[in-house]
Amino acid sequence: MKKANIKQLRSRKILNSNGNWTIECQLETNQGKATAGVPTGISRGREEKAASPIEKAIQEINESILKEIKKKKFNQKSLDSLLENGGWGSNATLAVSAAFFNLTKQIDNPNFPRLMMLMFEGEEHGNPIFTIQEFMVVVNEIEKGIEYYRLLENKLKENSLLDTVGKEGGFSPLGLNNDEEVLDLLVSGGIKNIALDVAGNVNPPTVNQLVNLVKKYPIISIEDPFPEDDVDSWKSFYQKAKKVCPDILIVGDDLTVTDKEKIIKANKEKLINAVIIKPNQQGTITAAVEAVETAKDLDIKTIASHRGESTNDTWITDFALVNEVDYVKFGAPARGERIAKYNRLLELK
């Protein structure tokens, strides 16, 4: 792994996609300079590592973290080990860790992941009448996802439905009355590979409600179907959904929070067969890499994901390619902070 001598750190506050403050860090080493911005989740797992208030995070980077690493040589793993044990907020540590990753990464002949491209948003991300937070289409090419997005936009217009968008660029119309009307619209557009993020901590369904959706619609992935502490529902749904659709992905996010030990436990209890990877849930690139490697060892599918409150930074795209994840979630093909990540994929393809 590449090593670099740390010369300087500078952090500042910037605005994220929801108009709230986050932080950006510039790292300077003997190899050059790199920056990284830190995303924030709108809905978060209870056991995500805690972030520091913005001004405190800036102080942590510019003073205490800099003091610990200046004029020393690190690779990604050794730097992240220091960051993980320093008692700093996860936003401060990730800003430094991701900046170092941006400086030292190597992307050689990457295997491109499949895309879970957002089409509609509900719950805390959009129209709250929808109890499902994200309605996505799974595609192999960005161009196909954009084709579906435009088709659905035209369908909304034809039906005089307001085509406003949610926090991540997905449509969030006021004229549809429930989740099934959204799913019907997706199916009417010829979409056959639907992925859902239920965000079960917010508005949990019953096991049978979700199983019936899997029976009725071409759903191939369901993320966070239930609250993270409702293990019985996770187990029951896993068994029943697999009988209906043997290849369906049951995806852990708030349940597993990019923690390798939680991934191992959820796999052992037969709760999941896929997992979301969000580096800010644990605060370092290395912790996220370890989560990916653990999942791969267990034959669990990996999905690198943005957050609800994002920045224009594209390091999550590079992370996904470097670590050869199976899928990516970058939101809809709309809004600049989401488009930046898709454009980075196109650049590297």
Question: Could you tell me the two tokens for 276?
Answer: 């979301």
Q: Which of 24, 168, 290, 337 is catalytic?
A: 168
Task: Tell me if residue 168 is catalytic.
Answer: yes
Distances (CA, A) of 31 to 4, 7, 105, 237, 322: 7, 10, 12, 50, 20
Q: What is the pLDDT of residue 291?
A: 98
pTM, rounded to two decimals: 0.97
**Would you tell me how many other CB atoms lie within 10 Å of the CB of residue 112?**
15
Instruction: Report the percent of the chain where pLDDT is more than 90.
Output: 88
Q: Read off the DSSP letter of residue 70.
A: T
Mean pLDDT across the stretch 238-247? 97
Arithmetic mean of pLDDT over the chain: 95
Q: What is the pLDDT of residue 46?
A: 81
The answer to whether residue 316 scores a pLDDT higher than 70 is yes
DSSP E strand boundaries for the chain: 4-15, 21-29, 32-37, 73-74, 114-121, 134-139, 194-197, 219-223, 249-252, 274-277, 301-305, 327-329
pLDDT tens for each residue of 94-131: 999 999 999 999 998 889 999 999 999 988 877 888 99
Q: Which of 167, 260, 262, 278 is catalytic?
A: 278
Residue 4 DSSP SS3: strand
The answer to whether residue 239 scores a pLDDT higher than 80 is yes
Q: What is the pLDDT of residue 1?
A: 60
The answer to whether residue 138 scores a pLDDT higher than 70 is yes
Mean pLDDT across the stretch 143-163? 91
Question: What amino acid occupies position 348?
Answer: L
Q: Among 281, 326, 279, 318, which Cα is nearest to 299's? A: 326
Q: Spell out the domains of the chain, with CATH numbers in brackets.
A: 4-104 (3.30.390.10), 114-348 (3.20.20.120)
∠ CA 226-230-235 to the nearest 5 degrees?
Answer: 80
- Of residues 125 and 23, the one with the higher pLDDT is 23
Calculate the dihedral angle through the C-alpha atoms of 230, 233, 235, 241, rounding to the nearest 10 degrees.
-140
Radius of gyration of the chain (CA): 20
Which residue is associated with the tokens 């909304």? 156
Mean pLDDT across the stretch 182-186? 97
DSSP 74-87: E-HHHHHHHHHTTT
pLDDT tens for each residue of 271-282: 999 999 999 999
The answer to whether the CB of 88 falls within 8 A of the CB of 64 is yes
Q: What is the pLDDT of residue 114?
A: 98
Q: Provide long-range contacts, Cβ within 8 A and 24+ apart, for 246-249.
A: 247/220, 248/214, 248/219, 248/220, 248/221, 248/222, 249/195, 249/220, 249/221, 249/222, 249/273, 249/274, 249/301
Mean pLDDT across the stretch 1-15? 92
pLDDT tens for each residue of 24-45: 999 999 999 999 999 998 777 7
The answer to whether residue 50 scores a pLDDT higher than 90 is yes
Q: Among 218, 225, 185, 184, which Cα is nearest to 201's? A: 225
Task: Tell me if residue 262 is catalytic.
Answer: no
Mean pLDDT across the stretch 143-166? 91
Q: Read off the DSSP letter of residue 255.
A: T
Which residues in 118-157 are b (16+ Cβ under 10 Å) and which e?
A: bbbbbbbbbbebbbbbbbbbbbeebeebbbbbebbeebbe
